[in-house]
């Protein structure tokens, strides 16, 4: 991957010390007290593959890969780390593009986007810390010092009746509003796990709307559980509840969104399952999206997420990054959110997650319905090494 002559590189590295000396994967896992579910799966633990990148001067940057530890860990340590040795963290965008090219060449039918994402975030963090600047400033400037947040939660629980689940999600919604949130996102798609269907999905939405009233923004996420016919039925029903957007109603094939958008007035959102600018370009060009949702841990890192936001702005579409990770993903997402044009919102996961709450020395918290965006070096957090050791596992 080296691009420069040895004389230039030796001079630059002597001056800055930004040479990458070590890249490692660090697996974390914590079992939860009680499992919960979305339409995709039951979740009984929180599991992350972090990426640690260290420069010759000892500056450490942190990133996070989407998905399970297995696979991410092996590609980071056996394939990516040797390629990055000797490269410079202030060349992060060029390194991102070269990794995509080389990994596509290695795997042919796909690029391990979660690996590229975790490495990219770690390099941006190390770069910012190396020059004592926040990533948001390195990306071109901060448009805001805080961002409005919506509380994500309201997942499915182990219940025997829809009435019991209605009560649980309504009470949870009330608790978020009582803590200052003025926007919420809930889950539907019950038919994947329960003997219920779209009628019961709409009952859950009705229960939350009735509980919080009309003054609270409500988003709904089906985690791509419907075919176009059922998605159409649900989207039309959601119009009765003044839903801001209907997220991932259908599988993440770009054409499905345009088809569904022609059938309903409910705004559609999607993007957490897409990666890199080419795929997002197809989705934006095809139409159907009112909001686009790249995730820094799976879309290709900070580099790709910032690029997608610019592409979306050119089509007058708002970017709402998807966020459902540890403190590293949350901090990195906030740095991008500081730079996104328009009126973005932060997805603020409120489900049980000890790793998210404890991993940062200074945890990221909401102030009412907003979350401050730190202007500290890198992504704005320091990892608590004691908490890291507590949750690190060998799988």
pLDDT tens-place string over residues 316-344:
999 999 999 999 999 999 999 999 999 99
Q: What percent of the chain has pLDDT over 90?
A: 94
Report pLDDT digits (tens) over 186-238. 999 999 999 999 999 999 999 999 999 999 999 999 999 999 999 999 999 99
Q: Hey, what CATH class is 138-384 in?
A: alpha beta
Confidence check: pLDDT of 13 > 70:
no
Q: Work out the mean pLDDT of the chain and round it to a whole number.
A: 95
Residues 187 and 200: beta-carbon distance below 8 Å:
no
Task: List all residues 6 or more positions away from 368 whose beta carbon is below 8 Å from its beta carbon.
Answer: 180, 181
Report pLDDT digits (tens) over 290-310. 999 999 999 999 999 999 999
Report pLDDT digits (tens) over 50-99. 999 999 999 999 999 999 999 999 999 999 999 999 999 999 999 999 99
Confidence check: pLDDT of 256 > 90:
yes
Residues 255 and 285: beta-carbon distance below 8 Å:
no
Residues 370 and 334: beta-carbon distance below 8 Å:
no
pLDDT of residue 15: 53
H helix runs in 132-239, sequence order = 135-138, 162-178, 198-212, 228-238
**Beta pairing, strands 20-37 & 60-65:** unpaired
Q: Is-same-fold flag (6-134; 138-384)?
A: no
In this prediction the pTM is: 0.95
Domain boundaries, the chain: 6-134, 138-384
Report pLDDT digits (tens) over 24-52. 999 999 999 999 999 999 999 999 999 99
pLDDT of residue 75: 98
Fold of the domain built from segment(s) 6-134: Enolase-like; domain 1 (3.30.390)
Rounded alpha-carbon distances, angstroms, from residue 249 to 284, 312, 349:
16, 20, 20
Report pLDDT digits (tens) over 99-120. 999 999 999 999 999 999 999 9
Residues 125 and 23: beta-carbon distance below 8 Å:
no
* Active-site amino acid positions: 322
Report pLDDT digits (tens) over 344-365. 999 999 999 999 989 999 999 9
pLDDT of residue 341: 96
Q: Determine the 3-state secondary structure of 149 from DSSP.
A: strand
Residues 198 and 231: beta-carbon distance below 8 Å:
no
Please state the rounded mean pLDDT for residues 250-260: 94
**Strands (DSSP E) found in the chain:** 20-37, 42-55, 60-65, 146-152, 183-187, 217-221, 243-247, 268-270, 291-292, 318-319, 346-349, 370-372
């Amino acid at each position: 991957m080296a691009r420069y002559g040895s004389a230039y590189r030796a001079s630059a590295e002597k001056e800055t010390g930004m040479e990458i000396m070590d890249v490692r994967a660090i697996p974390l896992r914590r079992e939860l007290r009680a499992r919960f579910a979305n339409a995709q799966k039951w979740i009984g633990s929180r599991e992350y593959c972090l990426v640690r990148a260290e420069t010759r001067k000892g500056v450490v940057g942190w990133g996070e890969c989407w998905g399970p530890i297995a696979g991410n860990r092996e590609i980071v340590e056996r394939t990516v780390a040797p390629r990055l040795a000797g490269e410079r963290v202030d060349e992060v965008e060029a390194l991102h593009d070269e990794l995509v090219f080389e990994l596509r060449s290695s795997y042919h039918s796909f690029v391990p986007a979660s690996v590229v994402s975790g490495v990219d975030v770690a390099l941006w963090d190390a770069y910012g810390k190396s020059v004592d600047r926040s990533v948001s400033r390195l990306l071109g400037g901060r448009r805001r010092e805080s961002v409005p947040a919506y509380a994500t939660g309201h997942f499915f629980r182990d219940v025997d009746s829809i009435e019991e689940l209605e009560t649980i999600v309504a009470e949870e919604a009330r608790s978020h509003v009582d803590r200052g949130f003025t926007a919420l996102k809930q889950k539907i798609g019950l038919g994947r796990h329960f003997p219920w269907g779209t009628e019961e999905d709409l009952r859950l939405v009705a229960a939350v709307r009735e509980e919080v009233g009309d003054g609270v923004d409500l988003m709904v996420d089906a985690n791509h559980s419907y075919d176009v016919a059922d998605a159409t039925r649900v989207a039309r029903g959601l119009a009765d509840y003044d839903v801001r957007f209907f997220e991932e109603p259908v599988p993440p094939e770009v054409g499905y969104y345009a088809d569904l958008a022609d059938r309903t007035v409910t705004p559609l959102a999607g993007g957490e399952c897409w990666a890199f600018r080419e795929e997002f370009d197809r989705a934006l060009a095809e139409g159907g999206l009112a909001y686009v949702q790249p995730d820094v841990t799976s879309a290709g890192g900070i580099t790709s997420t910032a690029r997608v936001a610019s592409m979306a702005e050119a089509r007058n579409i708002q970017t709402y990054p998807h966020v459902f990770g540890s403190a590293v993903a949350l901090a990195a997402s906030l740095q991008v959110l500081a730079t996104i044009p328009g009126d973005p919102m932060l997805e603020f996961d409120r489900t049980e997650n000890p790793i998210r709450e404890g991993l940062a020395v200074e945890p990221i918290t909401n102030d009412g319905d907003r979350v401050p965006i730190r202007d500290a070096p890198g992504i704005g957090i320091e990892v608590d090494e004691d908490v890291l050791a507590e949750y690190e596992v060998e799988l």
